[in-house]
Amino acid sequence: MITEKMTMAQALLKFLDNQYILADGKEIKFVQGVLGIFGHGMVVGLGEALESGDHGLRFMQGKNEQGMAHIAMGFAKQKNRKQIMAVTSSIGPGALNMVTAAGTATANRIPVLFLPSDAYASRQPDPVLQQVEQTYDYNITANDAFKAVSKYWDRVARPEQLMTAAINAMRVLTDPSDTGAVTLCLPQDVQGEVYDYPAEFFEKRVHYIQRRDIDPEALKKAAELIASKKKPFVICGGGVKYSDAAKELMEFTETFRIPFGETQAGKGAVLFDHPMNMGGAGLTGSSAANKLAQEADLIIGIGTKLNDFCTCSKWLYQNEDASMLTINLNSFDAYKMNAFPVLADAKLALQALTKALADKGYQSGYKDEITAARKEWDAEVDRLYSLELENGLAQSRILGEMNEKLIEKSGIIVAASGSLPSDVQRVWRCRDEGVYHVEYGFSCMGYEVAAAVGVKLAEPEREVYVLLGDGSFNMLHSEFITSLQEGLKINVILLDNHGFQCIHNLQRSQGIPSFGNEYRRRDANTNRLTEEYLPIDYAMVARGYGGNGYTAATAGELEQSFKELKDSKVSAVVDVKTLPGTMTDGYNAWWRVGTAQISKHASVEAAAREIKAHVDQSRKY
């Protein structure tokens, strides 16, 4: 057997550098690079291997471990899961900083390879700096925290274990039905240990992304179920994007006149003006989608995990005769809500269903409801876009100015948390492919700026716009510096509404007085945060980092800021002073929250009673 003597870390990089996927006949290099922040746990192990340059992987320096992992996720998501980045850190706090990002990747089914350093496998220097020790189980380290948020987890405690660990990592990272965060823990001593690796371990390895065809019996039953219904409604999930099934969805819905609504992950797969596209569906959806979903007698979920925002906590589908049909590669998702599960690739399943239903001569029973719902919603979006308020800019007006006038149709928007994902799902009109990048499987505050760097890395020729509030910006924006360092220009549109106003709205909607959500100074008499707003200049923050910063408080100032933004050669922030509480809300939706059933506030108890009434109307499984 031909072998190559090298350290475990060197072998890992050589292996990663030779991984490819084959999707629809196109071969693509899978692992593009490594992001990292060096520490004692890996600078002399994996760090040495990265520095040696005996590989074709790009190294990028992160500024916060969570942030750099969000860069990797943003990159993989924008690449439609066909290319990935790995992320590495030292042990202890550096590793634990990545756990939130791992949860974000897994919740969104996005492949990211985590390579946290670990405590010494030999245990001889224990306890080393940053090591967590547990008296009840000495095998546990800080990296065990990744188990709860990883789709595959392993610890490479001997250099020869790398081979099975790395192959299993690729198995999961390239699996469309079961992908997410993959964690390989790398003890700091083992990283530098030498082993004679078989040369074949480093040979070019092509992972075939195999489309799962629909089973004939499942096709027959699914077609029969649809044909028995008059008013089906489709939910377009992220699986439609990842399967490249937009064309098939359009043909299916046009042929049989079936309306569809979009999840956050599925939005933008089909452009906004498609006649069957009713916009966002669910809690943050449109009146068009939600009215039709409430009356539908069949819900067809395609590539969606049917979370509570999509289903309005299982309340949305009010027709007592409504059945559920799902098309999904993931059986866990396909069986939700007592659906009839079709375990198949979305593209192939839609092609087969279109033919089967055409053979039956099927047409839905809709008349003018679809056109009327679209017309009503378009008028409402136009109204929201043109809101004129005397004391400042409404959030919906800001979005309207950007969507209709200031951001080119090919510009990519990135959002993740607060009220902005709700508003863009409702009102953003996607006019080009790949322009809607919203993480809402985990709604991770701080994803936005970092992910935008990954998006720009994935699509350097397109403009990338970060849409976020001041709450998310303050949570994590350190990778703004990375964008400057790497020459990856991102445009940060910061809607400054003085705090956590999305949750502030939720708090007050449940009868609870305003408490602890706004950026106000503390009142010395009441000991509460009720004094004036903090006067923060976010544009100055951007300039302090070496980027550009602009401030806007009117529509005219916003337009001028965008002119300067587009002339900027480096990343910049537009600090848009936004009226608190002006996000959109409602539209035939409801969300179940755990409001206190007993309170000194009568308004809280009333809200709890209203929740119970809605729960009684909801599906139970």
Q: Which residues contact 379 (CB under 8 A, 6 or more apart)?
A: none
Peptide bond connecting 127 to the previous residue in cis, omega within 30 degrees of 0: yes
Looking at the fold, whether 162 and 225 belong to one and the same domain comes out as no
Question: How far is it, in rounded angstroms, from Cα 242 to Cα 263?
Answer: 13
pLDDT value of position 10: 97
Question: How far is it, in rounded angstroms, from Cα 194 to Cα 74?
Answer: 34
The single-letter code of the amino acid at 407 is I
| Mean pLDDT score, 576-598 | 91
Residue 607 lies in a domain: no
Looking at the fold, whether 283 and 355 belong to one and the same domain comes out as yes
Q: Strand locations in 509-596, DSSP E?
A: 548-552, 572-577
Asked if pLDDT for residue 611 goes beyond 90, the answer is no
CA atoms within 13 A on the CB side of 111: 23
pTM recorded for the entire structure: 0.97
What DSSP letter does each residue of 485-516 carry, written as one string? HHT---EEEEEE-SB-HHHHHHHHHTTPPP-S
Looking at the fold, whether 199 and 221 belong to one and the same domain comes out as no
Residue 317 lies in a domain: yes
Residue 608 lies in a domain: no
Give the C-alpha distances (Å, rounded to integers) separating 357 from 213, 360, 592.
Answer: 17, 5, 37
Q: Quick one: angle between helices 447-458 and 479-486, nearest 10?
A: 20
Q: Which residues contact 417 (CB under 8 A, 6 or more apart)?
A: 443, 444, 445, 446, 447, 448, 468, 469, 471, 472, 502
- Tokens read off for 574: 């537009």
Looking at the fold, whether 185 and 55 belong to one and the same domain comes out as yes
Looking at the fold, whether 390 and 247 belong to one and the same domain comes out as no
Output the domain CATH number for residue 276: 3.40.50.1220
Residue 261 lies in a domain: yes
State the average pLDDT for the chain.
96
- Work out the pLDDT band at 42, boundaries 50, 70, 90: very high
The answer to which of 21-25, 50-54, 169-173, 296-300 has the lowest mean pLDDT is: 50-54
* Element containing residue 193 per DSSP (H, E): none
Residue 513 lies in a domain: no
Per residue in 127-152, pLDDT (tens digit) is 999 999 999 999 999 999 999 999 99
pLDDT value of position 178: 93
Q: How many helices (DSSP H) and strands (DSSP E) are in the chain?
A: 23, 23
Looking at the fold, whether 126 and 234 belong to one and the same domain comes out as no
Looking at the fold, whether 139 and 220 belong to one and the same domain comes out as no
Residue 611 lies in a domain: no
> Hey, how many other C-beta atoms are within 10 angstroms of the C-beta on 546?
12
- Tokens read off for 171: 């198995």
Asked if pLDDT for residue 374 goes beyond 80, the answer is yes
Residue 253 lies in a domain: yes
Q: Which of 323, 322, 334, 149 is nearest to 237 (CA)?
A: 334
Could you give the 3-state DSSP secondary structure of residue 194? strand
Output the domain CATH number for residue 482: 3.40.50.970
Could you give the 3-state DSSP secondary structure of residue 422? helix
* Angle of CA points 590, 474, 85, to nearest 5°: 85
| Mean pLDDT score, 215-229 | 97
Per residue in 439-485, pLDDT (tens digit) is 999 999 999 999 999 999 999 999 999 999 999 999 999 999 999 99
pLDDT value of position 56: 94
Question: How far is it, in rounded angstroms, from Cα 193 to Cα 190?
Answer: 5
pLDDT value of position 619: 84
Per residue in 512-524, pLDDT (tens digit) is 999 999 999 999 9
Could you give the 3-state DSSP secondary structure of residue 338? helix
The sheet that has 26-29: what strands, in order across it?
A: 26-29, 19-23, 205-208
Maximum separation of any 2 CA atoms in the chain, in Å: 79
Asked if pLDDT for residue 348 goes beyond 80, the answer is yes
Could you give the 3-state DSSP secondary structure of residue 587? coil
Place of tokens 């020869």: 160
> Hey, how many other C-beta atoms are within 10 angstroms of the C-beta on 216?
10
Residue 349 lies in a domain: yes
Q: Which residues contact 159 (CB under 8 A, 6 or more apart)?
A: 7, 8, 11, 190, 193, 194, 195
Looking at the fold, whether 444 and 345 belong to one and the same domain comes out as no
- Tokens read off for 156: 């490479």
Place of tokens 């400057």: 484
Q: Which of 57, 46, 3, 300 is nearest to 192 (CA)?
A: 46
Looking at the fold, whether 342 and 398 belong to one and the same domain comes out as no
Domain termination residue (choose one: 144, 178, 208): 208
The answer to which of 301-310, 348-357, 396-405, 591-600 has the lowest mean pLDDT is: 591-600
Domain of 568 in residue numbering reads as 386-498+534-577
| Percent of the chain whose predicted confidence (pLDDT) is above 70 | 100
Asked if pLDDT for residue 607 goes beyond 90, the answer is no
Domain termination residue (choose one: 208, 234, 269): 208
Domain termination residue (choose one: 334, 351, 373): 373
Looking at the fold, whether 361 and 416 belong to one and the same domain comes out as no
- Work out the pLDDT band at 614, boundaries 50, 70, 90: confident
Q: Which of 548, 550, 538, 552 is nearest to 570 (CA)?
A: 548
- Work out the pLDDT band at 332, boundaries 50, 70, 90: very high
pLDDT value of position 615: 83
In total, how many domains does the chain have?
3
* Element containing residue 225 per DSSP (H, E): helix 216-227
Place of tokens 């969000």: 70
**Residue 586, phi then psi, degrees to nearest 5:** 95, -135
Per residue in 314-327, pLDDT (tens digit) is 999 999 999 999 99
- Work out the pLDDT band at 28, boundaries 50, 70, 90: very high
Rg of the chain, C-alpha, whole Å: 25
N-term to C-term CA, the chain: 56
Query: What residues are paired with 185 via a beta bridge?
Result: 155
Give the C-alpha distances (Å, rounded to integers) separating 129 from 62, 90, 141, 576.
Answer: 22, 11, 13, 44
259 near 366, Cβ under 8 Å? yes
> Hey, how many other C-beta atoms are within 10 angstroms of the C-beta on 251?
13
Report the Cα 550 to chain-centroid distance in Å: 28
Q: DSSP assignment, residue 518? A: B
Q: Which is more confidently placed, 353 or 501?
A: 353
Q: Is 58 left (phi over 0), alpha (psi -120 to 50) or beta?
A: beta
Looking at the fold, whether 323 and 426 belong to one and the same domain comes out as no
Residues 131/122/138/183 CA torsion (nearest 10 deg): 70
| Percent of the chain whose predicted confidence (pLDDT) is above 90 | 93
Alpha helices (H) in 45-140, listed in sequence order: 46-52, 65-78, 93-96, 99-107
pLDDT value of position 159: 98
Looking at the fold, whether 337 and 457 belong to one and the same domain comes out as no
Q: Is 106 left (phi over 0), alpha (psi -120 to 50) or beta?
A: alpha
Place of tokens 């705090």: 499
Q: Which residues contact 505 (CB under 8 A, 6 or more apart)?
A: 419, 581, 583, 585
